[in-house]
Amino acid sequence: MNMYIVYVLIILLGLAVGSFLNVLILRFDELKTIWRIRSHCLNCKKAIRWYDLIPFFSYFILGGKCRDCKKPISIQYPLVEGLTAVLFAGIYWQYNLTWQALLLAIIVAILIVIAVYDILHLEIPDILTYLGILFSLGFVFLNLLSNFEFRISNLIPYGYAVLIGAGFLGFLVIVSRQKWMGAGDILMGVLMGVLLGMPNILVGLFFAFVLGSIVGLVLIAAKKKTLKDAVPFGPFLVAGTLIALFWGEKLVNYYLGIF
């Protein structure tokens, strides 16, 4: 099959999965409603027509407004769908159509839900992090097996990464008495360590804190937040994880090359 056709199919799959992730994020606390209640406008409660449920594109066709009540539709919908599609394409670019790619797609989907849910609720559900850790373990083992490198010694860098990720974030939680970040962030440190290993965990944490600092300063400068306001850190941990996942090795080699 032509490579470009495969990319188009992967992107369309990503848009469809992103659409489902939006539903999952909004109904996470009542998962049963995903199957029982049709998609509807959150303002007027009217069921959304099938031709208005085209992932990503429907938002722009409708001008970002509900067809019935004309109230604005959250920008979350196209952003999540578009991001999922782009990341799925990136996974295919790196891993082709392999079992590793499938596991990584599931992990990325979980990370997206974690980030957006934390933005909306200032909370990271433990079940999502545990699932991320479970699939990350599967990804690491499969990766090592496919490269014929599965030895106990090859797991040591991941153990160190878990200690660094969970230990560093746990230290900040304890020192700040959960004012800077919550206990859920410690589990995120475990997830990052399992998925990234050494030295990529350092890249992930570095970019998480850099991005968090920049966004925090911008929000304060724009008077959207104050130093006393809580800002979800989960999205920055997810962003750092994704950067390290796709470009960590290149960034580390570039940094070492400078010296």
Q: Looking at the structure, do residues 87 and 206 belong to the same domain, yes or no?
A: no
Q: Is the pLDDT of residue 18 over 80?
A: yes
Q: Looking at the structure, do residues 116 and 13 belong to the same domain, yes or no?
A: no
Q: Looking at the structure, do residues 188 and 233 belong to the same domain, yes or no?
A: yes
pLDDT of res. 1:
65
The one-letter code for the residue type at 88 is F
Boundary (domain end) residue, out of 70, 97, 124: 97
Q: Is the pLDDT of residue 105 over 80?
A: yes
Boundary (domain end) residue, out of 97, 121, 156: 97
Q: In this predicted model, what pLDDT tens digit does every residue of 69-104 receive, in sequence order? A: 999 999 999 999 999 999 999 999 999 999 999 999
User: How crowded is residue 161: how many other Cβ atoms within 10 Å of its Cβ?
Assistant: 25
pLDDT of res. 117:
96
Q: Looking at the structure, do residues 42 and 52 belong to the same domain, yes or no?
A: yes
Q: Looking at the structure, do residues 116 and 63 belong to the same domain, yes or no?
A: no
Angle at 184 between CA 180 and CA 186, to 5 degrees: 80
Q: In this predicted model, what pLDDT tens digit does every residue of 148-194 receive, in sequence order? A: 666 777 889 999 999 999 999 999 989 888 777 888 899 999 999 99
Q: Is the pLDDT of residue 224 over 90?
A: no
pLDDT of res. 42:
84
Q: Looking at the structure, do residues 87 and 186 belong to the same domain, yes or no?
A: no
pLDDT of res. 150:
66
The more confidently predicted of residues 130 and 230 is 130
pLDDT of res. 134:
97
Mean pLDDT of the chain: 90
Q: Is the full-model pTM beyond 0.85?
A: yes
Confidence of residue 40 (pLDDT cuts 50, 70, 90): confident
Domain tally for the chain?
2
Question: Looking at residues 201-207, what average pLDDT do you find?
Answer: 97
Q: Is the pLDDT of residue 120 over 80?
A: yes
pLDDT of res. 149:
65
d(CA 190, CA 85): 26
Q: Looking at the structure, do residues 37 and 110 belong to the same domain, yes or no?
A: no
pLDDT of res. 47:
87
Confidence of residue 251 (pLDDT cuts 50, 70, 90): confident
pLDDT of res. 22:
95
Q: Looking at the structure, do residues 113 and 82 belong to the same domain, yes or no?
A: no
As a whole number of angstroms, the longest Cα–Cα distance in the chain is 61
Q: Looking at the structure, do residues 19 and 141 belong to the same domain, yes or no?
A: no
Q: Is the pLDDT of residue 122 over 80?
A: yes
Query: What is the extent of the structural domain holding 253?
Result: 98-259
Burial of 184 (0-12, 13-18, 19+ CB in 10 A): buried
Q: Looking at the structure, do residues 92 and 6 belong to the same domain, yes or no?
A: yes
Backbone angles phi, psi at 23, to 5 degrees: -65, -45
Percent of the chain with pLDDT over 70: 95
Q: Looking at the structure, do residues 79 and 192 belong to the same domain, yes or no?
A: no
Boundary (domain end) residue, out of 39, 62, 97: 97
Question: Looking at residues 45-60, what average pLDDT do you find?
Answer: 91
Q: Looking at the structure, do residues 5 and 46 belong to the same domain, yes or no?
A: yes
